[in-house]
Chain A
């Protein structure tokens, strides 16, 4: 062969149209909480490829890094393989494999005993659970009030502030109008929230030339592409927002027409200091709120469609008491110079000129760039409007707001700003996602008042709900909390999501009472879901000296993976992966709706489990039937849902005609929203790519809180009780009721110890106060804020065992502002100690420009305990990774009398893990691994040995070539 031929390109035969898969199934992703639709390709029974479902309302075909890595979660060696019973001491990781029969019998024994004696002694808490419509109901059927999911340490400030103020909230209950907004203001949103919809939306608005402002101490991810990054100091967003409000009020750039139509701004507030009525709304004899109606120059029905309400002025009520419109109280407060940009600039770290300019830009977008959609609609009073006019300013907030102890009020301040601009559910603004808006708050009260819990009986209602006054609290006559987590007590009256972060501490202390069994599902409570990890581990393993029993006698845990929590449980019920089970993304739980349509979804098994594992929801239903819980058995004791969760999804009715799924209801699948159970409902979903969506008519899409067509449909679908307008609560009478109790009014009052705390924080208008830890520690000793951000490519600890995602985030560092770090003599990769009032960690630093100078931060939940997740003991996650959780206390520093409140928001009980203050110093000597180091935990029995090399996909190619 002539030598030059060797150098010529040889034509390669390429199969341009290979078979991708031999089967395609649709289901719902579970690699984070976003719940995107996915299309799973199977080849030879193995998952070949997962892509976004282009028809799905959440992700419209796209898929994030986590979702795309689902294959590596499905085949991760970290999967648990069999039920297990602890044989060694707790925390040692010594288990024996047992059968499911044995496991179920043990669980039934423990729980049956509790139910027969004192149901409160079961504490049932779930993590990032997407089946709360089942788990909450199950707890209620069992008869324990001690149930919650992870919302207490996630976003209850956001949810509660929204639901009590506008009848919806950010993320799951609302979304920005990506298509029409001109100005988008985003507060404290980490990159995982809400993964694909935000990325899709940001792409849209940047393409349209709308301005995107990100208010966040850290400039990563979304903030990196903002047109303007406002590097605010953690915990001061409320001040920033109230200064914007100050500017808008001073310039009369507020939409009073909107306020009069849709909010309680004009409702008259009684001014009678020292009396039981002070600060409440003035009402007529039938309880209707009053306004000052200028048509009659006297008090009139504030809800009357023909009223002409006054927004300011001092008025006399018929009974002689004074009253003023709520708006006047608001204006009076925020016009004060205490809220002027110059007064808050230093504290927030945002220059006064920037605050003034952003206020001007908000007003410009809202009032000079109003959006008009030529779409007639009819309001609640039956009046036809020819077009939909909107104020195109949209906002979104998440954990940077909610994880502070002032987060409830800060979030309310953001909603107040939205209302003043007239942008709630108008074109270009914030839009409700059904089933919201609901009345503020939704009319569901938490069940479980002391004295109502009876052995062997279900509770009268759900464990979680919305209190509207002191009489709804779950407290003893002396104020002692009724729940183990102290939710709905005077320490956290509006704890609408419970307080999972306090369960272990309180159960260990036996405060307010000891429990028998802690039953948890997918909650890594001995690690990244706990504040004070070392202390939590000590409490989980602590024994009663007298009896030798663990202080928390039994712990049952269900997880699909060998997480850090496994070693601290006594009985392990191994769950399946998300591709191996039925699930239900229900309107009764956290819906997947969008502003233009109502939607729900299911998961279907894509592959058969190759291990002795069972879907947790199946286990829960079977366990419930074994325990004879009324909703789960027929009167003769036979299981009501022999087909387990799939059966329950289709056939359970929560109220007549209302079930877990809203699509294809009725015996033949002929109705939606409301209708008889359809035994073939799951099949109908599978045939429709595993989701249902009802698209709203154009006339129903905006002003949902006051839109007749929408409200009537919402009532028909069971989203709301009746087609009544939903009044936005600019002024919160609910909060005032608690304040009045603290001031000595009413029959249910806080114990003396809590009185002043309740009085101060239950202000009916938004307030700002320094986050508790900031105020409690010496700023000279702990000069820096420390927060955790969440990366786009890792959801909490869920990607820890994922071979691809851990190549992206396999360790973490402490990110510091370069100038701040240099001032401390710290360079890249130096080892530094991070000290809080609670503890110390030693980690490596990474300098950066895009972080507020007084803040340090790291990625959340990358650090792993050595030996867990079936990773090598010297994995980067444990050697170089770390958690800030170790230096966050679940309790605030002691008060003068020794009392320690939860490190939480005083209104909602939301864990305040962003309040952390630290000192950072260069470590004396470089370390080989981060500290504290925890002893490695051995693998549970039955785990697959992880491969040294993964050649995933090789088989597909070989088989393709062989054909």
Chain B
């Protein structure tokens, strides 16, 4: 057992992911990989990269699925990475103290020097967010770009996780979810942001914004069901416009 920081800190850095505008383009996943393969937890090893079964370490993966049948259903693109839970099972099961939650900001990290690669944490994580680097023999995971967000060598606006910085649709937001006045907390309130599997009690910090409802019903834009015809349905109906006075 690895203990969680006491007392619980107020700052909860995390991501807010907007499922209403995520198009599943994988930009966040690849930019994450690119940053992190040379970053704090480098490398994000790729096995058999040019062979029959390439498989690498990714801190962020996109899952696409359909909900509902036929045309009434919808396609959902669901990016998933570590949720930096307030009660992270992955930390509590760690036998060496390698997995830990930072008291300063709540980020869950792995101290590779202490990791023995036992994978208990990946068994414990109900979200499948941990990534074992079999080559290095250690567990790796989203660091929330710990080497970017405080990096004084970067310009202030660049001090966000790579996935947030690169997302073309602006479907990803980063901030302090422990601060009710933060921009991310406000978005979560306005849009009904929700936790993944809240019933498990791990209290994920990352939030998801639900897709907005489809707008296929009559009146959804203020328009009527159809236009009222005014031009006669007969040959020569176009003479409707014969008296129109126009200027150029």
Contact = CB atoms under 8 A, between A and B. Distances in A.
Interface of A: 6-10, 12, 14-20, 43, 48-52, 54, 59, 61-69, 71, 77, 182-183, 191, 195-196, 199-200, 202-203, 206-207, 211, 219-225, 227-229, 231, 247-253, 256-257, 260-261, 266, 294, 304-313, 327-328, 331-332, 335, 337, 353-354, 356-357, 359-361, 363-365, 368-369, 381, 792-793, 801, 803-808, 810, 818-819, 848-850, 870-872, 874-876, 879, 946-954, 956-957
Q: Which 4 A-B pairs have the closest CB atoms?
A: A199-B168, A364-B223, A251-B227, A953-B37
B248 A307 contact: yes
A307 B248 CA distance: 6
A498 to B, nearest CB: 31
A636 to B, nearest CB: 50
Given A308-B246, A951-B43, A221 B51 contact: no
B24 to A, nearest CB: 6
Given A224-B23, A228-B216, A951 B227 contact: no
A127 B25 CA distance: 24
A12 B113 CA distance: 9
Contacts of B109: 12, 14
B225 A309 contact: no
B191 to A, nearest CB: 10
Contacts of B47: 948-949
Nearest to B230: A252
**Which has the most chain A C-beta neighbours within 10 Å: B153, B166, B216, B238?**
B238
A332 to B, nearest CB: 6
Contacts of A363: 223, 227
14 contacts: A14-B40, A51-B166, A62-B167, A220-B64, A250-B231, A327-B241, A331-B231, A365-B223, A803-B50, A804-B56, A946-B50, A952-B37, A953-B43, A956-B42
B24 A49 contact: no
Given A7-B1, A64-B25, A306-B247, 10 more contacts: A49-B38, A228-B214, A247-B227, A360-B227, A361-B223, A365-B223, A804-B46, A807-B58, A956-B38, A957-B39
Interface stretch (B68-76, B122-130, B195-203): B68-76
B147 A368 contact: no
B182 interface: no
B239 A360 contact: no
A360 B223 contact: yes
Nearest to A294: B245
Most buried by B among A16, A231, A870: A16
B245 to A, nearest CB: 6
A870 B51 CA distance: 9
Nearest to A809: B26
B94 to A, nearest CB: 9
Nearest to B31: A68
A807 B55 contact: yes
B54 A810 contact: yes
A203 B170 contact: yes
Nearest to A16: B150
A793 B244 contact: no
B30 A805 contact: yes
Given A256-B244, A956-B38, A850 B73 contact: yes
Nearest to A873: B52
B35 interface: yes
B166 A63 contact: yes
Contacts of A793: 25-26, 30
A18 B150 CA distance: 10
B181 interface: no
A876 B170 contact: no
B219 to A, nearest CB: 9
B230 A250 contact: yes
Contact of B221 (A62, A211, A311): A211
A199 B25 contact: yes
Nearest to B45: A951
A195 B70 CA distance: 27
Contacts, number: 361
Nearest to B98: A10
Interface of B: 1-3, 5, 20-27, 29-31, 33-40, 42-56, 58, 64, 66, 68-71, 73-77, 95-97, 100-101, 109, 111, 113-114, 135, 146-147, 150-154, 157, 162, 165-171, 211-212, 214-216, 218, 220-231, 233, 235, 237-242, 244-248
A73 to B, nearest CB: 12
Contacts of B77: 224
A18 B152 CA distance: 9
Contacts of A947: 49-50
B169 A203 contact: yes
B105 to A, nearest CB: 11
B28 to A, nearest CB: 8
A876 B43 contact: no
A306 B245 CA distance: 12
B49 to A, nearest CB: 4
A805 B29 CA distance: 10
B43 A872 contact: no
A202 B23 contact: yes
Given A65-B25, A68-B30, A368-B222, A52 B166 contact: yes
Contact of A870 (B23, B33, B50, B215): B50
Given A59-B168, A69-B34, A64 B27 contact: yes
Given A203-B171, A206-B20, A211-B220, A356 B225 contact: yes
Contact of B146 (A16, A206, A879): A16
A705 to B, nearest CB: 14
A257 B46 CA distance: 61
B23 A199 contact: yes
A294 B171 CA distance: 55
A304 B162 CA distance: 57
A337 B66 CA distance: 38
A18 B151 contact: yes
Contacts of A948: 47-48, 51
A950 B49 contact: yes
Contacts of A251: 227-231
Contact of B68 (A308, A805, A849): A849
Given A247-B226, A253-B227, A849 B25 contact: no
Contacts of B51: 871-872, 874-875, 946, 948
A9 B21 contact: no
Contacts of A354: 216
A385 to B, nearest CB: 13
Given A17-B151, A804-B30, A806-B54, A952 B46 contact: yes
A256 B23 contact: no
A10 B45 contact: no
Contacts of B27: 62-65, 67-68, 199, 792
A247 B95 CA distance: 70
B46 A359 contact: no
Nearest to B35: A49
A466 B34 CA distance: 44
Contacts of B97: 6-10
Contacts of B215: 211, 227-228
Contact of A12 (B55, B100, B165): B100
B180 to A, nearest CB: 22
A17 B147 CA distance: 6
A849 B70 contact: yes
A331 B242 CA distance: 12
Nearest to A66: B30
A495 B167 CA distance: 38
A200 B231 CA distance: 41
Contacts of A364: 221-224
B30 A360 contact: no
B229 A950 contact: no
A335 B170 contact: no
A644 B229 CA distance: 64
A678 to B, nearest CB: 31
Contacts of A16: 146-147, 150-152
Contacts of A6: 96-97
A452 to B, nearest CB: 41
A20 B218 contact: no
